[in-house]
Amino acid sequence: MKVLMFGWEFPPHITGGLGTACFGLTKGLTKHGTEVIFVVPKAYGDENQEAVKLVNASDISIDYEDKTYKEYWNRITYMEIGSNLIPYVGPEEFKSIVEKNRLNSIEEEKSILSERFIFSGKYGKDLMDEVSRYALISSAVAAKSKFDVIHAHDWLTYPAGIAAKSVSGKPLVVHMHATEFDRSGENINQSVYDIERKGMEEADKVITVSNLTRQIVIEKYGIDPKKITTVYNAVEPLNKKPSYFNERAIEEKIVSFVGRITFQKGPEYFIEAAKKILDVDKNVKFVMAGSGDMLNRMISRVAQLRIAKNFHFAGFLKGDDVDKMFSMSDVFVMPSVSEPFGIVPLEAMRSNVPVVISKQSGVSEILIHALKVDFWDIDALADSIFGLLHYDALSKVFKKFGKEEVDNLKWENAAIKVIDVYKSAMSLN
């Protein structure tokens, strides 16, 4: 089986869990003999291509006079996009993104329709230009490639998936990693919602990363439950323990938060719980690693609570730096308000770190050896962290059995379920 897959990022150039999940899944598919052509807006040349043939959309030229592209472009509707749509964004980009794009200007349309278009591959202010051009490029890739099924990851690539389907007639599977409701609560960006809904309506099958997300797709988007399948994410195993796992720079206990510092991830609850713990135990350090639009507000809150001496903002981490953070952590916390899945707790557990996660996360559906609390219950959150820090027997149980649990969550097993979805979609055509 051959899959034409569309994604917005691929390791090592990632900004969150989406790229990590794409990489793990492609490796899992390869183990079952599935060939993957993976299209990204911008490739840097150092991506791991052991499991995929990577196609750089920035390298593809198109002839707009070609009837295929002209007909497709005439069907594209321009939309005005604001800042709250961005799934992974740092504070340095946030201000510029707030300025809305006027995508129907003549000059911008000429740029999108030029023979060559260099993608930034980022989540910047020209994002919708890139989404539109990416969809156009996908029709060119689909017209020239041989494949059996199309797989589009998250809303940014849904227009590309639809375009590829219209050109090739092949079945389309869309993968919902996070909905607009997860990113923005009830104050959604209507344009992004419309793209998500259109993608799922046009798809032959929809994959959601948890039953929590599946229910949102059914209730908020009106998608037929029969076409939706939940396939849980997994985690790449640590093949060997790095040397720094035995290093310890400070004596205090360390509690870590690793993720985007945005509404969705609940960083304020982590800080409020830290205050409660530090009121009774000053021998604890709290680390918040990540970036996002709430970063400055969180820094101000830490200062206001007078806990800055015990609190460190580490910035955005990826790759080995994340594993190094876990090697120094005694407890990992994910207090997400709305988390479609949540791969980071799995990465912590594979490093023998006990975790506290919110009940409002997809990963809580499958994890047994994790402490689970409501994201808003700061007392329960603080109690759970305190217990893992101070009761060695409790901590040892969660370390031992948590590690065994995540070692059995393999991408090759998730890939089997995804292949079944492919076969089901192909049987409809």
Q: Are residues 228 and 252 in the same domain?
A: no
**Greater model confidence, 108 or 237:** 237
Burial zone of 43 (CB within 10 Å; 0-12 exposed, 13-18 middle, 19+ buried): buried
Q: Are residues 259 and 157 in the same domain?
A: no
In the chain, the amino acid numbered 314 is: A
Q: Are residues 360 and 249 in the same domain?
A: yes
pLDDT value at 234 more than 70: yes
Over residues 44-50, the mean pLDDT reads 74
| CATH code for the domain of 86 | 3.40.50.2000
Per-residue buried b or exposed e for 203-233, using 16+ beta carbons within 10 Å of the residue's own CB: bbbbbbbbebbbebbeebbebeeebbbbbbb
Would you call 27 helix, strand, or coil by DSSP?
helix
Quick one: the chain helix, strand, coil %, rounded to 5?
A: 45, 15, 40
Summarised one tens digit per residue, pLDDT across range 370-380 is 999 999 999 99
Q: What angle do CA 134, 62, 160 make, to 5 degrees?
A: 25
Q: Output the pLDDT for position 303.
A: 97
pLDDT value at 209 more than 70: yes
Quickly state the pLDDT bin for 413 (edges 50, 70, 90).
very high
338: containing domain = 243-407
Cα(164)–Cα(151) distance, integer angstroms? 10
Beta bridge partners of 3: 36, 149
Q: Are residues 138 and 256 in the same domain?
A: no
Q: What angle do CA 223, 126, 53 make, to 5 degrees?
A: 70
Based on its alpha-carbon atoms, the radius of gyration of the chain, rounded to whole angstroms, reads 22
- Is the distance from CB of 342 to CB of 361 less than 8 angstroms? yes
For the chain, the domain total comes to: 2
Q: Are residues 320 and 339 in the same domain?
A: yes
Q: Are residues 219 and 265 in the same domain?
A: no
Q: Are residues 206 and 273 in the same domain?
A: no
- Is the distance from CB of 411 to CB of 236 less than 8 angstroms? yes
Q: Are residues 283 and 366 in the same domain?
A: yes
Summarised one tens digit per residue, pLDDT across range 310-344 is 999 999 888 788 889 999 999 999 999 989 999 99
Q: Are residues 118 and 263 in the same domain?
A: no
Q: Are residues 217 and 295 in the same domain?
A: no
The two structure tokens encoding residue 330: 């005694």
Q: Are residues 376 and 361 in the same domain?
A: yes
Distances (CA, A) of 128 to 93, 102, 190, 399: 15, 10, 14, 44
In this prediction, what percent of the chain has a pLDDT beyond 70?
82
Cα(225)–Cα(285) distance, integer angstroms? 45
Q: Are residues 162 and 308 in the same domain?
A: no
Over residues 40-58, the mean pLDDT reads 76
Residue pointed to by tokens 């509404």: 263
CA neighbor of 22 nearest in space, from 42, 3, 38: 38
Cα(279)–Cα(410) distance, integer angstroms? 40
Summarised one tens digit per residue, pLDDT across range 165-207 is 998 999 999 999 999 988 887 788 888 899 999 999 999 999 9
- Is the distance from CB of 348 to CB of 355 less than 8 angstroms? yes
Would you call 124 helix, strand, or coil by DSSP?
coil
